[in-house]
Structure 1
Amino acid sequence: MKIFLLGGTKDSTNIIEFIKRNYDAYILTTTTTEYGAKLAREGGSDDTIARPLLKDEITEIIIDGKFDILIDATHPFAEHITQTSAIIAKELKIPYIRFERPTTNLENIDTSRIHYVNSFTDAGKLIENDFPKGNVLHFAGANTMEDVLKYVSCERFYPRILKVPSSLEKCKELNVNPNHIIPMTGAASANENIELIEKYGASVMITKESGEIGGVIEKIDAANKKDIAVIMIQRPEIKEVEKKDMVSNLNELGHKLKTYFKKID
């Protein structure tokens, strides 16, 4: 079997390792960065593409490569590529699986400091109106900064991002102070987040509802301990993806894949 995997997340690396351990498969993983491709290769991906792909390019690669199945393991907030991949699979009549990490279980966590919004524009407006003092820790990636910075001054803004050329260029375009950039190497611990809150005098942090693997609990824990606000952007609902095509863990993925693969003994 040949698998076309839309990756770039920790989830996608886990999927590669799981499939390679249990099935006879060739995997091509696409990511938007070389860093993501490096992680995919380390996980066992047979080949990688390290740049954003247009719809026609994905379609052409799947057809020319005679891929049997498309797995979308992109970030829960990568709305456009998830919409596109579901449409492509339907057009090409190939099996489609959307792997989406479960939402964060906050059952035993103090959520009193969380403010839920539906967009980064709403996050910026909320900060402008309700949190005019103190600095802002932006824990939501470089591509989401622009909408926030329409309402929040760069003097208050401290983004934690991957120090890759595209992200640094985005910071430059938006006049983000280079000294405000916090290098990201993965999900931070609660103590690391506390250190950042203290170091930068933050009164609020912005994060996506990206699940436990995205470090959401550690962010909330740090905010609670330092008594600052958390602005949580809720996940988009993507109507192109049918519920029957979604899985949220490796066991569910394995159950679905059994219908497509002969499992290795």
Structure 2
Amino acid sequence: MQKNLSARFKIFLMGGTKDSINIIKFLKNEYFSKNSSLKYPPYILTTTTTDYGAEIAKNAGSDKVISKPLSKEEIVNILTSPKNKFDIFIDATHPFATNATLTAIESSKTANIPYLCFERPDIDYSRFKNSIIFVNSFKEAGKLINNEFQSKNILHLAGVNTIESVLKFNQINLRNFFVRVLPVKSSIEKCNSLGISGENIIAMQGVFSKEFNKILMKEFKTNVIITKDSGETGGSFSKVNAAYELGIDIILVNRPKISDLNVNNSISNLNELQIFLDKF
């Protein structure tokens, strides 16, 4: 990797995930300490869609954060600004943030900046196949609940922004519908606006262990969970494993496929990031 020793290597990072936090910490510490060609730690500008995500990115070491959704035009303006001169665009958005990734790909092409996507490794669900019902969308999950699990206790473990799609089928009994969401005002207000009462809202932040998930599922007498294939980082395996051991049905929303994504521009761990940057 031929770097300009008189200038800082500059990275535009689309984040808001645990992956992006790990990338920031890696670049600022391990990568910099092992790379003698770098005079300074890489400069990182991180974008997130929330103040919460921005705060975590800043605490992790990001030099600058932008805490709002950005359009393609806004991103391109940042990338092409003479004062910025970014060397690479890293997309570490959520696996289900399809529109964000498409915007990232298009923006990097327009700005003529190398693009790299961090994709979470796939999980082998084969041992759970008799307990999992795979669906391709949250609307499909809602339809399934409405048709087959209407009188069951449902625990939604897929984030506040997916609840509305599940509830499109208004015959779902909200008294039996429980949700785990981030403990922030906007999440609680969103749940309330959808008719979900406080006693059905579990406000918690974090990726939880199998044992903790089992305790939660037992507490709410769960018959079926709704979750998404967001990888080990997103806690998918521990949720599925917990439900499986308790004999609870699992509705799992498949990770969306992005046809515009080039496999040569994708990595799934920090070692691959190191290799990519060293060859850059």
Normalised-by-shorter TM-score class: over 0.9
> Which one of 62, 72, 81 corresponds to residue 45 of structure 1?
62
Matched, 1:71 2:71: no
TM-score computed with the length of structure 1 as normaliser? 0.93
Partner of 1:242: 262
Instruction: Give runs of aligned pairs for residues 151-230 of structure 1, distance below 5 A.
Output: 151=169, 152-230=172-250
Q: Which runs of 5+ in 1 are unaligned?
A: 261-265
Superposed CA deviations along residues 165-218 of structure 1, whole A, max 9, x for unmatched, are 332232132121122111121111112111221221211111110111111121
Kept in 1: contact 2:79–2:85 (CA 8 A): yes
CA distance in 2, matches of 1:6, 1:73: 6
Instruction: Give runs of aligned pairs for residues 27-106 of structure 1, distance below 5 A.
Output: 27-64=44-81, 65-106=84-125
Partner of 1:130: 148
CA distance in 1, matches of 2:51, 2:206: 15
Partner of 1:121: 139
The worse-fitting range, judged by mean Cα deviation, of 183-192 and 150-159 is 150-159
Partner-residue secondary structure (3-state), 2:147: helix
Which amino acid letter does the alignment assign opposite residue 92 of structure 2?
A
CA distance in 2, matches of 1:60, 1:224: 48
Partner of 1:7: 15
CA distance in 2, matches of 1:185, 1:8: 14
CA distance in 2, matches of 1:123, 1:217: 19
Please tell me the root mean square deviation across aligned C-alpha atoms, in Å. Answer: 1.4
The structure with higher relative contact order (CA 8 Å, sep 6+) is 1
Partner-residue secondary structure (3-state), 1:236: coil
Kept in 2: contact 1:134–1:201 (CA 8 A): no
Which amino acid letter does the alignment assign opposite residue 98 of structure 1?
C
Superposed CA deviations along residues 106-132 of structure 1, whole A, max 9, x for unmatched, are 35x333111100000110111111212
CA distance in 1, matches of 2:260, 2:188: 33
Label 1:154 to 1:218 Cα distance change in 2 as closer, same or farther (>3 A): same
CA distance in 2, matches of 1:187, 1:156: 24
The worse-fitting range, judged by mean Cα deviation, of 67-76 and 191-200 is 191-200
Deviation of the 1:16 alpha carbon: 0.6
Kept in 2: contact 1:87–1:240 (CA 8 A): no
Kept in 1: contact 2:76–2:110 (CA 8 A): no
CA distance in 2, matches of 1:98, 1:61: 19
Superposed CA deviations along residues 215-236 of structure 1, whole A, max 9, x for unmatched, are 1121122112221111110011
Q: Which runs of 5+ in 2 are unaligned?
A: 1-8, 33-40
CA distance in 2, matches of 1:137, 1:203: 8
**Number of residue pairs aligned between Structure 1 and Structure 2:** 259
Kept in 1: contact 2:72–2:106 (CA 8 A): no
Kept in 1: contact 2:182–2:203 (CA 8 A): yes
Partner of 1:263: none
CA distance in 2, matches of 1:166, 1:63: 33
Deviation of the 1:163 alpha carbon: 2.1
Which amino acid letter does the alignment assign opposite residue 53 of structure 2?
G
